[in-house]
A and B are shown apart, each in its own frame.
Chain A
Amino acid sequence: MSFDLEDLRRTAPLLLLSAAGLVLLLLEAFSRVRLIGRHYHKKLPPETSEAYAVPLAGSRTYLMPLTVLFLAAALGLVVWLWPEAAEPHYLYRRMLVLDRFGLLLSGVCITAAAIGALGAPAYLREQRMEFGEYYALLLLSLAGMVMLVSAADLVSLLLGVETMSLGAYVLTGSWRRSPRSSEAAMKYFLMGAFVSAILLYGIALIYGSTGTTELAEVRAHLSEMRSAPVFYLGMFFLLAGLAFKIAAVPFHMWAPDVYEGAPTPVTGFMMAAVKTAAFGGLIRLCVGGLTSGRVPEVSTGPTGWVNVLFVLSALSMTLGNLAALRQENIKRLLAYSSIAHAGYLLVGVVALGVVGDAARAPLIYYLLGYAVTVVGAMAVVAALAMGPGQERLPIEQWAGLGQRHPAMALAMTLFLLSLGGFPPTAGFFGKFYLFRAALQNPSLLLLVLLAIVNSLVSVYYYLRIVTAMYFRTPQEEEVEGHVPAAQGALRLAVLLAALLVLGLGVWPGWAATVAEAAKLAG
């Protein structure tokens, strides 16, 4: 028994990320934390300044550049594999598949992670959470995502989801001084474990009714499934499991608490990369495994996945937006906005089932645009803390930032406009392409109308932040003498995200062409 050595080459990004994760873990463990000094705040009285003094870890500052280097290398490998992925290659006895769809989504996740990683050190230092495993976990979680988006089998799908989630659980709880962070990690882990069980049960049921776990085989055996209720129950469980990961209503309840409690760069990473990867898995499952021209009722039938996702989509965008309207905490607001965006994205998956492949490129474009937007927005939140240990969360604290931090406020405005779907940003063209693709089938008219009404409603709370930044006078000063961490690499991260959001909005053609080329295997 063996496998082709070519398979190793074709999974180079995955292998690189896993190996890099292990290397970073060891480096972190074996490098000595040397305190090269204490950082005092000049204007604070001596007795309080000790509390704010930060140990500056001297010898581990190379972790972030090294991580970014690894991520850049992984991105390079993705680009390198792109030409040969024009035709799908099945790998490791058809457990994984190399196709452009998987590669592109891997690239999106890696880019989001890289932007997030760039901003992390400044934030970690400022919030007094030196957590060296951060980067190793990021890479390992990313390896899970790459596996998830290139899964060709339910088993590798589950493996990917689990690897991705384990990293995310620990990252969520990595801010050990913050009770909120620990609570969030606990909740996320408990619910995640529960949902993993559901997912696994779903896989077992699918196996029970079709006799295989390979997606292409499942699809081929749809017409001769043994027991329809068993199959459909399995399908529901799988959908529920993935809907949990993308935070779709009613599986969303963890999201606000977890997104709020997690360290901000981790929140950005989860909103962008975890969501993208989970959508990748969902699309693989639905299109690759559960859509067959011979048995249309599995997808478009009364209990088909299209109907299920239709309901989830409508619920997610409506409830997500309604809840976001009243939020005063910016991370919580963006968490609900993320739920709403899961709803918009589900419109795309529904369209994939109804109008077919035409909806694929718009969906990928939307994922790309959303990923860079939220990761940028979270980088801005990370950059503008009020002081050590105090993030700038309540919206009233964002008042007057237009004057105090004009560049950051401008970038945030750009991201919020993109989330709200204004031209010329990535968000506008994402919505434009997606809704137009969905409208090719009139039966989705209602859903698209609901999505449009919802995105109009969402403008209200995005612009609320913008108006606060530009048209309100600041209420509260930052901790005196504190300079927000908006510097160096964190600035670069925000700039990068902003350029991507703007670039995608001004020249959407290029990305749309790439997305068009990202064909799905099978």
Chain B
Amino acid sequence: MTVDYAPTLVALLFGLGFSCLFMALAVLFGPKRGGETKLSPFECGSDPIGSPRVRFSVKFYQVAILFLIFDIEAAFLYPWASQFRRLSCIGPMAGLSCLGTVTLFGFVEMLVFLGTLGVALAYVWRKRAIGWG
């Protein structure tokens, strides 16, 4: 029951506790020597020109999103790789070796997935979403 979630609670408390602890330590023991120069913007020693809210080309976002999507899809390869032997075996396993029949199931599944991803890539490429021109 609720007791099962106790470790989560403990982890949460630990996390909160430690971050608070270190911040408190820093406040307590850190030397505090402030001054006008210390608080002024220091980069290149000059005031900023213009608003920081510059309008970027939408292409930045587009490329960023595309990267994100394909990156996340690619991340799916890791769990697949770790389970690849399991997916390729019908029957019991001893360690990493298969005692039953070895199948192409895992392989074909990943081919289908990559194929779908390939279609998406082809589409994106064809629509010139990756190019900058």
Beta-carbon contact of A227 and B1 below 8 Å: yes
25 residue pairs bridging A and B, Cβ less than 8 Å apart: A1-B86, A1-B87, A1-B88, A1-B89, A1-B90, A1-B105, A1-B106, A2-B90, A2-B103, A2-B105, A3-B105, A22-B116, A22-B119, A25-B119, A26-B119, A26-B122, A26-B123, A29-B122, A29-B123, A29-B127, A30-B122, A30-B126, A226-B1, A227-B1, A227-B2
* Interface size counted on chain B using CB atoms at 8 A: 16
Number of A-B residue pairs having CB atoms within 8 Å of each other in the complex: 27
Chain B proximity of A144: nearest CB distance (Å)? 14
Chain A nearest CB from B112 CB (Å) reads 10
Q: Which residues of B contact A (CB under 8 A)?
A: 1-2, 86-90, 103, 105-106, 116, 119, 122-123, 126-127
B79 to chain A, nearest CB (A): 14
Contacts of B86 in A (CB 8 A): 1
- Interface 0/1 of A1-31, CB less than 8 Å to B: 1110000000000000000001001100110
A29 cross-chain contacts in B, Cβ below 8 A: 122-123, 126-127
Residues of A near B103 (CB, < 8 A) are 2
Instruction: State the CA gap A30–B125 with chains docked (Å).
Output: 10
Interface-central residue, A1, A3, A22, A29, by most chain B CB under 10 Å: A1
A25 lies within 8 A of B123 (CB): yes
In the assembled complex, the CB of B96 is this many whole angstroms from the nearest CB of chain A, namely 14
A29→B127 CA distance, assembly (Å): 7
Chain A residues in contact with chain B, CB under 8 A? 1-3, 22, 25-26, 29-30, 226-227
Tell me the complex Cα distance, A3–B87, Å: 11
Judged by DSSP, the binding face of B is helix
Rounded to whole Å, the gap between the CB of A210 and the closest CB of chain B is: 13
Q: Closest 3 A-B residue pairs measured CB to CB?
A: A29-B126, A2-B105, A29-B123
Determine the chain A residues whose CB is within 8 A of the CB of B87 once the complex forms: 1
Inter-chain CA distance A1–B107, complex, in Å, is: 12
Complex CA gap A29/B119 in Å reads 10
- Given A1-B86, A29-B122, A29-B127, output 14 extra A-B contacts at Cβ < 8 Å: A1-B87, A1-B105, A2-B90, A2-B103, A3-B105, A22-B116, A22-B119, A25-B119, A26-B119, A26-B122, A29-B123, A29-B126, A226-B1, A227-B2
Q: How far is the CA of A22 from the CA of B114 in the complex (A)?
A: 13
For the complex, give the distance between the alpha carbons of A26 and B88 in Å: 31
Question: Complex: how many Å from CA A25 to CA B120?
Answer: 9
- In the assembled complex, the CB of B72 is this many whole angstroms from the nearest CB of chain A, namely 14
Report B118 CB to chain A, min CB distance, Å.
10
Neighbouring A residues of B1 by C-beta, 8 Å: 226-227
Bound-state Cα–Cα, A160 to B97, Å: 36
| Residues of chain A lying within 8 A (CB to CB) of residue B90 | 1-2
Task: Give Cα distance in the complex from A30 to B123, angstroms.
Answer: 8
Residues of B within 8 A of A30 (CB): 122, 126
CB distance from A63 to the nearest CB of B (A): 15
Chain B neighbourhood of A2, CB < 8 A = 90, 103, 105
Docked Cα-Cα span, A519 to B87, in Å, equals 34
How many angstroms between the C-alpha atoms of A1 and B106 in the bound complex? 8
